[in-house]
Amino acid sequence: MKQMLSREPFALLAFSLVILTMPIWLAPLGANYPDLLQKFTIYAIFAMGFNILFGLTGYLSFGHAAFLGIGSYAAVWSFKLFTMNVLPALFFGVAFSGLFALLIGFISLRRSGIYFSILTLAFAQMCYNLAYSVLTPITNGETGLQLTLQDPRIIDRALAEPGKGLPSTELFGLSMSGYSGFYFCAVVLIVCFFISRRIFYSPFGLTLRGIKSNQSRMNYTGFNTRPYTLTAFVISGMFAGLAGSLLAVTDPLAGAERMQWTASGEVVLMTILGGVGTLIGPMLGAWIIKYFENIFSAFNPETLQSFFSFLPEGLRTVAVDVSSLFVGEGWHLTLGVLFMLIVIFLPGGVMEGWRRITRRFGGGSGTKPASSPNAAVQPAE
Amino acid sequence: MANSVLHVADVHKSFGGLQALSDVDLNVEEGTTHAIIGPNGAGKSTLLNVCVGRIKPDSGHVVFNGEVLDAHTPDEINQLGVSRVFQTPEIFPDLTLLDNVMIPAFAHRDGSFSLRPFSKLRHETTIRQEAEQVLSDVGLEALQTREAASLSRGDKRRLELAMCLIQRPKLLLLDEPTAGMARHDTNRTVDLLKTIKARGMTKVIIEHDMHVVFSLADKISVLAQGRIIASGTPDEIKGNPKVQEAYLGGAQ
């Protein structure tokens, strides 16, 4: 099984199967409605891209939400100016965020460690403030950028008479709301997984790992590390821009709050929760956080009452009172506790937990597929 | 007289009030092993740091194969063919031994930057075989899939040596390659270095172990207080009274 999954076609097939059947296997968890499923796939892309920079290269960016926001704005502008077709929107989202990543990365990557993090945070806050106030003509300030009836939409108008009311996003006539929106995001996620996997198992990925492990050794080994870190930064910025434009595809409006530093912090949490530097860990982290955000926050005392209905009256009141702290408005508390537990007991995140379980029960080794397992073992002399 | 591969000309370097290197002049000839010995704090490591571009000299030049190294960055100097083993092993602690050795091989083959993010690592069979070969040359073949951080200090040194050897450098700089090794491992390393010498690789070696120095070196330079006080064949150095006084006598 493990051997098979290390082959590319099988890995892709298994991954696609898991993603495309999400509406089925998430049903028992109550998370199979399109809106949440779209968020699962979109934030998985965001976290996967972030992991290329943080997990592989070891640079902790605290400003990746800026690229998410830039992707959203670019996509909505594409809807407003050109067409409601989503493909140009994705293109512009990725292109603009890539451009910004190139600029911000070029400056920030002059430093590493905490200084790099602070620089990216500063840039992201600058982007947020620009979007929120200074650039109001482009971003529509605190209201957020929305579609209007007066939008030029030149390509769509040239092809057909505009219908009544606001149009919705579409892919050659297929509306991008509900399940079709989810499946579109899912296909994009599968493509992103493929790209990310290729990077992981390429000499380029190995080089990035080397930079994370010992950058000065890389210099004395003959590598010019700056172009490598910049490439990783731009790739992860483009992933974020792609996620941002998908957010606009499923719901065509863009607001500045998407770029706030809390949003940048969230993707850091996702990555750490799932497993830094692993291929699918960040995606799992994104799912966990989005699940808590949407499901736990929807719990109210009534749902808890029915959940604890098997307890006698007095105990039930206590159980409901205590647990109600952790649901509804208090879902952040649950997330915080979970995050602390994972960081303390499972520093490698969910993926480390999984590895420990398989090692205990399967007796399998945790070696990386990149290394050859059939090395002849010989005595030292 | 053979070709000079590395020429250190009149190098001065001071840190604050400390004159670390003064008037250092050194000629390393092609295919030879040149040992630099001297008491602690004599400036031996500083000299190597100047050679790999870690430290810029205050005045003077380092010339490698006709190329002045002063204006080059460490990665460019490596690409010219200079590899270095550090005094404290500089390895990639959280990668496997095989990965540790494959990374320098990529630098050697593809240059300082090569962007092919989609090519597959598993198709790099030539480089993998080379890496396995070099690891078995240094005696670490049984540990290929181990994480480098788990190695003993001596093994880390051997790993770092393997990382340099896979690049087939024109000039190999070794900063105490046997420090922290048991006698048995030291002998192995000396044998390995003799084999490399047979291949014609030029080496500069800093070493405290006189047994190692005299069994490897073609030429020895003695550094004391930032100055070269003597240079010559091992026999000349052994008989030099100044050296006896400054180093051999004091240390043993």
In chain A, which residue's Cα lies nearest the Cα of B147? Answer: A367
Q: Which of A205-209, A324-328, A345-349, B49-53 has the lowest mean pLDDT?
A: A324-328
Region B206-223 average pLDDT: 88
Please give the C-alpha separations between residue A95 and each of B11, B137, B245, in angstroms, as whole numbers: 50, 48, 70
Q: What is the mean pLDDT of chain B?
A: 87
Q: Which positions in chain A touch B86 (Cβ < 8 Å)?
A: 220
pLDDT tens figures, B153-185:
888 988 999 999 999 999 999 998 888 778 888
Instruction: For residue A251, give the DSSP letter.
Output: S
Please give the C-alpha separations between residue B114 and each of A54, A196, B72, in angstroms, as whole numbers: 21, 18, 19
Contact A210 B52 (CB under 8 A): no
Count the alpha carbons within 13 Å of B228 in the hemisphere toward its beta carbon.
19
User: Which residue in the set B104, B107, B144 is minimally distant from A375, CB to CB?
Assistant: B144
Please give the C-alpha separations between residue B194 and each of A313, B178, B214, B218, in angstroms, as whole numbers: 84, 14, 12, 11
Q: Which of A157-161, A334-338, B110-114, B246-250 has the lowest mean pLDDT?
A: B246-250
Percent of chain B with pLDDT over 70: 96
User: Which residue in the set A209, A372, A373 is minimally distant from B95, CB to CB?
Assistant: A209
B128 in reach of chain A (CB within 8 A): yes
Q: pLDDT grade, residue B249 (50/70/90)?
A: low
Region B15-30 average pLDDT: 88
Q: pLDDT grade, residue A370 (50/70/90)?
A: very low
Domain presence at residue A110: yes
Q: Residue A322 pLDDT > 90, yes or no?
A: no
> Closest Cα to residue A198, out of A57, A13, A8?
A8
Residue A372 has a pLDDT of 34
Residue A72 has a pLDDT of 95
Domain presence at residue A42: yes
Q: Which positions in chain B touch A195 (Cβ < 8 Å)?
A: 118
Q: Which positions in chain B touch A218 (Cβ < 8 Å)?
A: 75, 103
Q: Residue A5 pLDDT > 90, yes or no?
A: no
Region A70-78 average pLDDT: 95
Q: Which of A65-79, A264-278, B113-127, B213-227 has the lowest mean pLDDT?
A: B113-127
Q: Which positions in chain A touch B106 (Cβ < 8 Å)?
A: 203, 206-207
Domain presence at residue A371: no
Question: Token pair 């830039």 is at which residue?
Answer: A70
pLDDT tens figures, B79-107:
999 999 988 889 999 999 999 999 999 99
Contact B103 A210 (CB under 8 A): yes
A375 Cβ partners below 8 Å, 6+ apart? B132, B141, B142, B144, B145
Domain presence at residue A343: no
CA distance linking residue B236 with residue B241, whole number of Å:
10
Question: Token pair 């690789």 is at which residue?
Answer: B201
Percent of chain A with pLDDT over 90: 54
Q: Indicate which of B119, B144, B189 best probes the interface with A, i.e. most A CBs within 10 Å of its own CB.
A: B144
Backbone angles phi, psi at A170, to 5 degrees: -150, 160
B52 in reach of chain A (CB within 8 A): yes
Q: Which positions in chain B touch A220 (Cβ < 8 Å)?
A: 52, 54, 74-75, 78, 83-84, 86, 90
pLDDT tens figures, A218-276:
999 999 999 999 999 999 999 999 999 999 999 888 888 889 888 999 999 999 999 99
Residue A283 has a pLDDT of 95
Q: Residue B16 pLDDT > 80, yes or no?
A: yes
Q: Residue B230 pLDDT > 80, yes or no?
A: yes
Q: Which of A23-32, A154-163, B241-250 has the lowest mean pLDDT?
A: B241-250
What CATH number is associated with residue A39?
A: 1.10.3470
Token reading at B135: 């690891």
Domain presence at residue A332: no
Q: Which residues of A232-251 are buried (b: 16+ CB within 10 A; e: fewer)?
A: bbbbbbbbbbbbbbbbbbbb
Domain presence at residue A318: no
Please give the C-alpha separations between residue B97 and each of A377, B162, B211, in angstroms, as whole numbers: 14, 10, 29
Q: Indicate which of B84, B87, B112 best probes the interface with A, i.e. most A CBs within 10 Å of its own CB.
A: B112
Region A51-78 average pLDDT: 94
Contact A203 B122 (CB under 8 A): no
Task: Count how many pairs of residues, chain A against chain B, have C-beta atoms within 8 Å.
Answer: 139
Both ends of chain A: CA-CA distance in Å?
Answer: 36
B187 in reach of chain A (CB within 8 A): no
User: Which residue in the set A202, A224, A367 is minimally distant from B112, CB to CB?
Assistant: A224
Contact B110 A210 (CB under 8 A): no
A346, A349, A353, A355: CA torsion to nearest 10: -120
Contact A199 B117 (CB under 8 A): yes
CA distance linking residue B61 with residue B155, whole number of Å:
35
Percent of chain A with pLDDT over 70: 94
Which H, E and C letters describe A131-200, residue by residue?
HHHHCHHHHCCCCCEECCCCCCCHHHHHHCCCCCCCCCCEECCEECCHHHHHHHHHHHHHHHHHHHHHHH
Domain presence at residue A284: no
CA distance linking residue A241 with residue A214, whole number of Å:
29
Q: pLDDT grade, residue A363 (50/70/90)?
A: low
Region B110-123 average pLDDT: 83
From the number of C-beta atoms within 10 Å of its C-beta (0-12, 13-18, 19+), residue A271 rates as buried
Q: Which CATH superfamily is domain B4-251 in?
A: P-loop containing nucleotide triphosphate hydrolases (3.40.50.300)
Q: Which residue has the higher pLDDT, A218 or B199?
A: A218
Report how many domains make up chain A. Answer: 1
Residue A376 has a pLDDT of 32
Helix (H) or strand (E) holding B25: strand B18-29
Contact A217 B74 (CB under 8 A): no
Q: Which positions in chain B touch A372 (Cβ < 8 Å)?
A: 98, 128, 132, 144-145
Helices (H), chain B: 44-51, 74-80, 97-110, 125-137, 153-165, 183-198, 210-216, 234-239, 241-243, 249-251
Q: Which of A19-28, A292-301, A333-342 has the lowest mean pLDDT?
A: A292-301
B192 Cβ partners below 8 Å, 6+ apart? B137, B138, B161
Instruction: Cite the beta strand spans of A196-310 per DSSP E.
Output: 253-254
Token reading at B86: 């550090």
What range defines the domain where residue A61 resides?
A: 7-260
Residue A155 has a pLDDT of 85
Domain presence at residue A315: no
pLDDT tens figures, A96-155:
999 999 999 999 999 988 999 999 999 999 999 999 988 888 888 888 888 888 888 888
Q: What is the mean pLDDT of chain A?
A: 87
User: Taking a C-beta distance cutoff of 8 angstroms, is the pair B226, B239 a contact?
Assistant: no
Backbone angles phi, psi at A284, to 5 degrees: -60, -40
Q: Residue B214 pLDDT > 70, yes or no?
A: yes
Q: Residue A378 pLDDT > 60, yes or no?
A: no
Region A48-76 average pLDDT: 95
Helix (H) or strand (E) holding A34: helix A34-51
Considering Cα of A209, then A215, then A220, then A222, what sign does the dihedral take? positive
Q: Residue A368 pLDDT > 80, yes or no?
A: no
Please give the C-alpha separations between residue A291 and each of A17, A29, A305, B174, B206, in angstroms, as whole numbers: 20, 9, 21, 55, 59
